[in-house]
Every structure is written in structure tokens, then in C-alpha cells.
Homo-oligomer: A and B are copies of this chain.
Amino acid sequence: MAVYTDINEVELKDFLQAYDTGTLLSFKGIAEGVENSNFLLHTDRFPLILTLYERRVDENDLPFYLGLMQHLSERGISCPLPLPRTDGALYGRLCDRPAALISFLEGMWLRKPEARHCRELGAALARLHIAGQDFAIRRENALSLKGWVNLWDKSAFRADEVLPGLEGEITEELALLEDCWPVDLPEGVIHADLFPDNVFFIGDGLSGLIDFYFACNDFLAYDLAICLNAWCFEKDGAFNVTKARALIEGYQSVRRLSDAEIEALPLLARGSALRFFLTRLYDWLTTPEGALVVKKDPLEYLRYLRFHRSVKSAGEYGLS
């Protein structure tokens, strides 16, 4: 939960002058998102989300993020659509921060997703990958191999505080991934953070994808590997192969994976587990006690990583 910046009605009305939104009726801070401050606005015409980008988001990346949402929306992907200002710009400035108005997407994220939701997710992910193919702007994945090495350099010396032996285990894993990481899989725009709280459903139908603030260019199958981690482990740490099968089948019903992608999947899943392990570990070691942010346990992703290390082939994810 997070509202880092409070806004007042005078500043807000001034900000809205540059838009054609109708009359503002209400605005409320919403307790979602951990990187930005978000408000739900009602006008006499439609509801809107107002996002204030806090310092963890680089303003130079906003044309990529906001342009991508616009690009995907135009291609039929249900995702938040930035409302352009009357001068055409996709964002303005409020409380000394970049700020954008974005369409309100109905739907709820599922605290308890089931296999049928994973199937829907897989299909939506593949559609996203296809729709993103002709997006003109590129953004490197700052949280791929190079980023992992960086994060590990800053955390390794304290890793054994969290779990004895961790420093050795992760150093070895990282070395292996640097050696074996694929180089020639199909690439494109990936969401890179498609956790359940970024996928909305109405009833059992997927109604939209949100939060594109980690999107970047990378291997498409790596995005699927992220979803394997984010959706297919149960709370007790067990891997739910029924969910994994549904996820991959859903994906392949829209876009077939190549043999090379299928073969790489266990390694991509290891890399993805390591990525979330490393950011969580870094936050764990550096977030002060009592901060407003809830710290997430890095060891959850260590367990996922160990699972994927034990996987001999993608068949163990339920691929037939």
C-alpha cells in the first residue's frame, strides 16, 4: 500500500486544466502500487487513475511505458490507456513529479487464482507479446544478467546474515547463469512483472493487465518463466504443475513456443527466480525497520530457484 505524495485540490485542478476530463467530482488515494502514488478520480464523465511517479521511476522511461500502453490498447490489449493532454503530451507535472492520467480498468486481482485463471493469463501474455512486436521504442531490461550481478555485488557480503551458506550458493548460481544464459531466443516487449496483482478478472474472465513500469525488451519466453514463478507456486512452496500446464497451454493457444524456447524454460525460470530473489534480498537488507513498505521474504524465491534447479526438462512444467 502506498500514497507517498498527498495532493491538494488546488494543485489538482490546476493540473487538470491541461486535460479535457469534465468536472472533477472526487479523488481518493488508493492503497495499491509500491513504486508510485495513485489516486482514483471521478469526473462527471468517467473514472480515472492519476499516477504520480516517485523517484524510483526514471522520467526518461515514461515515453516507453506510456507509449507502450497506448500502443497495446490500440491493438486490442485491455490495459490502462493514458489520456493525452490537450497539447498531446502523455504526462504533466504535479507536486514536482511527473504525473499521468490513465483510464480506470474495471476488474479485480485474484488473491487465490486457480488453473483456469492461469490459462487465461497465458493467452493474454501471448497476445501482449504479439501486439508489442511493432512497438518502436526500446528499453533494455535493467534487471537481467548485468543487473543481477550489480545487485549481488551490493548484497553478497551480507547474504549469510539471512541464511548461512547463501553467499556461496548464489555466487555459484549466478556464475552458471552467466555461462549458460541463452543468446538467440525470440525477443520483444515483455511485461516483466505480471504477478497476480497486475492481472484483473471479472468473474473468471481476464479483464486487463496493469502496471507496465517494469516492461522492457527481452526474451519473450522469459516473461512466461516469470509467470511460472509468480502464479504456479502454492503458499506452502509446492509447485502446482496443473497451473503451469494451464499457463503454458494458454500461451501456446495464441503463440507457439519454439523448441529452443521450450528447452530454455527451466533455465529462464531459474533466472527469473534469481531476479526476484535478488531485488527482495537487496530491499530486505537496506529497507529500514518501520518503513511503510512491507518487506517481502527473499527466501521464498530461493526455494523456487532450488526447485527449478532440480527440473530436468520443460516436461516437468506440464508440457506434453
A1 proximity list for chain B (CB < 8 A): 1, 3, 29, 31
Range for the number of chain A residues in contact with chain B: 20 to 34
Select A40's contact among B9, B28, B106, B202, beta carbons within 8 Å.
B28
| Cα A9 to Cα B112 with chains together (Å) | 8
A289: interface (CB < 8 Å): yes
Interface string of A25-64 (1 = CB under 8 A from B): 1111111100000001010000100000000000000000
A200: interface (CB < 8 Å): yes
A166: interface (CB < 8 Å): no
Closest Cβ of chain B: how far from A152's Cβ, in Å?
29
| Cα A105 to Cα B10 with chains together (Å) | 20
Interface string of A160-200 (1 = CB under 8 A from B): 00000000000000000000000000000000000000001
**For the complex formed by this chain, how many copies does it contain in all?**
2
Select A107's contact among B25, B40, B106, B108, beta carbons within 8 Å.
B25
Minimal Cβ-Cβ distance residue in B for A30:
B28
Select A3's contact among B8, B10, B31, B40, beta carbons within 8 Å.
B31
| Cα A105 to Cα B289 with chains together (Å) | 37
A285: interface (CB < 8 Å): no
A31 proximity list for chain B (CB < 8 A): 1, 3, 28-31
Select A29's contact among B32, B111, B200, beta carbons within 8 Å.
B32
A292 proximity list for chain B (CB < 8 A): 292
A27→B108 contact, CB < 8 A = yes
Select A25's contact among B9, B28, B202, B290, beta carbons within 8 Å.
B202
A24: interface (CB < 8 Å): yes
A47 proximity list for chain B (CB < 8 A): 42
A10→B108 contact, CB < 8 A = no
5 more contacts with CB within 8 A, not counting A9-B108, A25-B106, are: A1-B29, A1-B31, A25-B202, A26-B106, A30-B30
Give the top 4 A-B pairs by smallest Cβ distance, nearest first: A290-B290, A8-B111, A29-B31, A25-B106
12 example contacts (A-B, Cβ-Cβ < 8 A) are as follows A1-B1, A1-B3, A1-B29, A1-B31, A23-B202, A26-B200, A28-B40, A30-B30, A30-B31, A30-B40, A290-B290, A292-B292
